[in-house]
Amino acid sequence: MNYVSHHGAPSLVLGGGSNMLLTQDISGDVLKVDIHGRKVVYEDDDQVHIRFGAGENWHEIVLWTLDQGLGGLENLSLIPGNCGTAPVQNIGAYGVELKDCFISCEGVRIDEKRFFELDLEGCKFGYRDSIFKNDWKGKAIITRITLRLTKHNHKLSLDYGAIKDELAAKGVEEPTPKTISDAVVAIRKKKLPDPAEIGNSGSFFKNPVVPEELANTLKERYPEMPIYTVDGGIKIAAGWLIEKAGWKGYKDGDVGVHKNQALVLVNYANATGAEVLALAHSVISSVQEKFGIVLQAEVNLI
């Protein structure tokens, strides 16, 4: 999903709409990308490359690849949204990111009225980041993505303890892509509220990456603080920071912070986008004051 402000172009390009917060009315046309299709474009004994239309639902294609006996997407199960916006965020969960199985994407540069294709390097992926959120923001529409899946000898990622605990609870001793997916789905359903039951935008904030010096200082004060070593520094769990700042379960009128997962801002009834955004700013200020860390929104603010 991107703003496109060039003459004759839509005011808003919409994917699945799951990773956005509308704070105002949209003036002009809204274009919904609804391109479907799944096509094998390369295959050998070990791997298969599949091109997906941008309008394909992400979780549905994850389940479909698992049904084919393919590995690579299992840790990314139950992430809301469509394939076309997956590269924008470089979606990730439980130790895996889209870039780990990404081959290329194609689409349209609206400002230059031309088609494009970008490979892994060209997309400039970072943590919940890509060229589509920076140099190409508001200038491109992704129409298809191509992903690499494994046929056997799957590289299973069990780094996150929650997955190991869930597998152990289910009595799984030899994990497969499918059992890992089942575990991820179970974990996410426990932690994240169902939008059909209570309005929410999923994980609202990015996990901050901070210098090792700051992380060590905070770790001395809070030995229980969850941290992960990543490229560029130390990643700290934003949900833990928000909870420690006293926001978990907070409610003010129709807006609040979810009682089970402090990363999630919720709309209990008729809150406006502006009210949710105001709560987000309050959370950001509070965490900065307590920890010296400035949280950033993961959702697109419109």
Residue among 56, 74, 97, 298 flagged as catalytic:
298
Looking at the chain, list the stretches that DSSP marks H as alpha helix, in order from N- to C-terminal side: 58-67, 86-89, 161-169, 177-191, 212-221, 238-244, 273-291
How many Cβ atoms sit within 10 Å of the Cβ of residue 9?
A: 18
Q: DSSP letter at 18? A: T
Which residue, chain included where needed, has tokens 């987000």? 280
Is 188 one of the catalytic residues?
no
User: Which residue spans within the chain are E strands per DSSP?
Assistant: 2-3, 12-14, 20-21, 30-32, 38-43, 47-53, 92-93, 96-97, 102-109, 114-119, 140-150, 199-203, 209-210, 227-230, 233-236, 251-252, 255-257, 264-267, 300-301
CA distance 14 to 60: 19
Residue among 77, 104, 181, 203 flagged as catalytic:
203
Is 166 one of the catalytic residues?
no
282 half-sphere exposure, CB direction, 13 A CA radius:
15
Residue among 38, 106, 128, 286 flagged as catalytic:
128
Is 213 one of the catalytic residues?
no
Task: Please tell me whether residue 60 adopts helix, strand or coil conformation.
Answer: helix
Active site residues: 128, 203, 298
